[in-house]
Amino acid sequence: MRRILMPFFLGLCSFLGGVTAVYVAVHGQPFAKADSPAPGSDLGRLSDRFESVARKLSPTVVAVEASKVANKGGKSKTVEESGSGVLVRLPGQKAVFALTNNHVIAQATPEQITVSLADNRIVKPAQVWADPESDVAVLRLDGLDVIPTANLGDSDQVHVGQWVLAFGSPFGLNQTVTHGIISARERGQISLGTTIRIKEFLQTDAAINPGSSGGPLVNLDGDVVGINTAIASNSGSNSGVSFSIPINLVKRVAQQLLEKGSVSRGYLGVQVAGSFEVSDAIKLGMDRAQGALVETVYADTPAATAGFRANDVVLDVDGVAIRNENHFINLISSLAPGKRVQVKVWRDRRTILLESEVGDWSKGQGRFRAQ
């Protein structure tokens, strides 16, 4: 990708230079320089804000590379995975950490991971924690007591249409900054073909490309609101549809990884449909296509004990209206094992109330993939 991108970029510059030369030969003067935004104008203030955030965040953005051994066709081969990350400080911890994606460093030991800092220093993590189901990884970097770190914001306060900047190392081009807006929230209807199960992404049109994974998505206050993780593209490059893990989810996962070494998640023991269409709602006698449609109830699980049935539609959990299947998955996953919940479901054209204990996902996942 790097060899394809750079010749195209250089060729484009040469083309523009040629146009300028022709213009001068014909008219005897170069193009007039475009006026800068007037100081104090809306555009000028926005430009100043972009520059300010870029100056503030760039020193905290790192490039992450991992050497992994992959088995293909019965043969072992070393594969280099490149991504990005952001330096942060976490509550109750003295060390500096780099947040990135699990898929960037998965199957690599700390000795196989290299972190390149903005000041060109190269360090290796002292310890690595990862959660494949949310695609979050945390790297502890020792010996960096005096170094800029990013402020972690509140992704619950992010709104559609809000300006954001994306930082990373696309195609190996470190310290790249792009801009866009928040296109949507709570996106979970995407298949990433991995072990990622917890999906409530922020969608953005800020340009994110291969190598940007793990870099920060930042609001115009300079606060990190997401960790970039995926793009939707037929070509493999940016198509204006990119996804970031909300930083509040990242903070919860990171805290549990540091405190316990793993993430505790709840489950009930049902498999829900990947979508709940209008036709499904009409067939079941509902007046709106909202909720999570149960496809399977697994035996010897909290859901089976509570009386869940196939074709139930989960409408509400402890007073929280369920929007869709991903909302249901994420909500149940966030609950502590052992908690008892009231679940309202639609069954036989009426609502009924079930009470269930939340199970421990780590104990049930070996038998099935369920919520």
Q: Is the dihedral of CA 159, 162, 168, 172 positive or negative?
A: positive
pLDDT at 104: 94
The H or E element containing residue 299 is: none
Would you say how long the chain is, in residues?
371
Whose structure tokens read 């209206």?
321
> 21 or 247: which carries more pLDDT confidence?
247
Which token pair is 145? 């007591």
- The neighbour count for residue 341, using CB atoms within 10 Å, is 21
What would the mean pLDDT of 115-131 be, rounded to a whole number? Answer: 95
* Global pTM value: 0.78
Query: What is the average pLDDT value for the chain, to the nearest integer?
Result: 84
Q: Quick one: fold of 39-263?
A: Thrombin, subunit H (2.40.10)
Alpha carbon distance 227, 236 (integer Å): 19
Instruction: Please identify which residue in the block is written with the tokens 């905290």.
Output: 60
pLDDT in the model for residue 170: 87
Residue 334 has pLDDT above 50, yes or no: yes
26-50 confidence digits (pLDDT tens): 344 444 444 556 666 777 788 899 9
Are 159 and 144 a contacting pair, CB within 8 Å?
A: no
Distance of CA 219 to the CA centre of its chain: 15
**Bridge partners (DSSP) listed for residue 77:** 70
327 catalytic residue (yes or no): no
User: Which residue among 213, 242, 244, 333 is the active-site one?
Assistant: 213
213 is annotated as an active-site residue:
yes
Q: Which of 59-68, 73-82, 326-335 has the lowest mean pLDDT?
A: 73-82
Catalytic pick among 135, 205, 223, 312: 135
Is 131 known to be catalytic?
Answer: no
Distances (CA, A) of 121 to 2, 59, 115: 23, 12, 8
- Residue ranges of the chain assigned to CATH 2.30.42.10: 266-364
In the structure encoding, which two tokens stand for residue 283, read together?
Answer: 């067939």
The string of pLDDT tens digits covering residues 210-223 is 889 999 999 999 99
Whether 190 shows a pLDDT value over 70: the answer reads: no
pLDDT digits (tens, 9 = 90+) for 274-294: 889 999 999 999 999 999 999
Classify domain 266-364 by CATH architecture. Answer: Roll (2.30)
What value does the mean pLDDT take over residues 232-254? Answer: 83
Residue intervals in the chain for CATH 2.40.10.120: 39-263
Rounded to 5°, the CA angle 332-335-336 comes to 140
Q: Is the pLDDT reported for residue 345 higher than 90?
A: yes
Q: CA–CA separation, 355 vs 114, rounded Å?
A: 49
Q: Which of 84, 103, 183, 205 is catalytic?
A: 103
For residue 361, give both structure tokens. 């996902």
* Six-digit token string for 86: 């952001």
pLDDT of residue 16: 30
